[in-house]
């Protein structure tokens, strides 16, 4: 790195701005990639959960349907027995036998009424479950649509950014070559310290573009001269004037 030529401070500042802009582009790519895979896997989890909800509802529907069948069969059997009892009652021998038979008949009629009520209740439950099932199915197809969209987006970003990433990495490398080691070291250190990855910031509205701490007019004039590398006293970021910052574009 000792081979760095004698660049003027202004040239160094320009390289720093260039480097910052290129690195910010690389950060953006990372952010784009960083969130989509998570969104995709969250959606996949959610859809798996919805599928098991659907299966559970379907099993409940099967259970209720079986229950209704069972009750219907019980009613049929009850009615057959009733017919048998009615026939028996035609030739009973005494009143004691008659009463006993009557009790059996009453009991059976009551049981059938109860079975009828069970069937009505179960049918209501069935209607509720059918609604839930419909809801779950709709949600699954909506979420699957979103998932497919996100997956497509992610694949596209990966395909697109491969080229961009290589391009900006090359630019980053050449910008670094024009900056001396000491400056690069502080640049990298500051960038690592801040979540937004900004180490070089413009002065905006008389304040540091990184931490918004006010910059005195005297210091602002110094910054505009491009004769010294000036850092923010509050956050340590390298300060550049907005005009110089705006004049540099990376693509």
Residues of the shown chain interacting with Zn ion in the complex, contacts defined by CB under 5 A: 208, 210-211, 213, 232, 234-235
Place of tokens 């690389």: 26
What lies within 8 Å, CB to CB, of 86 at 6+ separation is 105
Closest by CA to 206, choosing from 170, 182, 184, 239, is 239
Query: What's the closest the beta carbon of residue 24 comes to Zn ion, in angstroms?
Result: 17
Nearer to Zn ion, 68 or 208 (CB): 208
Query: What's the closest the beta carbon of residue 205 comes to Zn ion, in angstroms?
Result: 13
Nearer to Zn ion, 78 or 210 (CB): 210
Report the distance separating Cα 18 and Cα 24, nearest Å.
Answer: 10
Nearer to Zn ion, 90 or 217 (CB): 217
Distance of CA 60 to the CA centre of its chain: 30
Burial of 239 (0-12, 13-18, 19+ CB in 10 A): buried
Nearer to Zn ion, 200 or 232 (CB): 232
Place of tokens 């990855």: 197
Nearer to Zn ion, 68 or 190 (CB): 190
Distance of CA 239 to the CA centre of its chain: 37
Mode of pairing for the β-strands spanning 238-240 and 200-204 = parallel
Nearer to Zn ion, 74 or 211 (CB): 211
Query: What's the closest the beta carbon of residue 138 comes to Zn ion, in angstroms?
Result: 51
- 85 contacts 108 by C-beta, under 8 angstroms: yes
Distance of CA 137 to the CA centre of its chain: 20
């Amino acid at each position: 790195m000792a081979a760095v030529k004698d660049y003027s401070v202004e040239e160094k500042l320009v390289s720093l701005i260039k480097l910052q802009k290129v690195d910010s582009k690389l950060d953006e790519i990372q952010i784009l990639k960083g969130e989509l895979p998570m969104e995709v896997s969250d959606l996949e989890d959610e859809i798996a959960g919805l599928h098991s909800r659907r299966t559970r509802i379907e099993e409940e529907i099967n259970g209720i349907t079986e229950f209704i069948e069972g009750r219907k069969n019980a009613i049929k059997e009850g009615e057959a027995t009733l017919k048998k009892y009615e026939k028996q009652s035609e030739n009973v021998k005494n009143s004691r036998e008659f009463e006993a038979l009557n009790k059996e008949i009453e009991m059976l009629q009551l049981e059938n009424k109860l079975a009828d009520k069970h069937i009505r209740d179960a049918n209501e439950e069935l209607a509720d479950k059918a609604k839930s099932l419909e809801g779950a199915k709709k949600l699954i197809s909506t979420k699957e649509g979103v998932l497919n969209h996100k997956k497509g987006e992610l694949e596209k970003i990966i395909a697109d950014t491969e080229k961009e990433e290589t391009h900006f990495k090359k630019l980053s490398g050449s910008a670094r070559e024009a900056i001396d080691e000491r400056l690069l070291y502080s640049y990298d250190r500051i960038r690592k310290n801040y979540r937004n990855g900004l180490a070089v910031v413009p002065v905006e509205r008389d304040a540091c573009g990184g931490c918004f701490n006010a910059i005195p007019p005297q210091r602002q004039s110094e910054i505009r001269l491009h004769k010294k590398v000036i850092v923010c006293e509050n956050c340590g970021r390298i300060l550049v004037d907005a005009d110089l910052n705006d004049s540099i574009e990376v693509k």
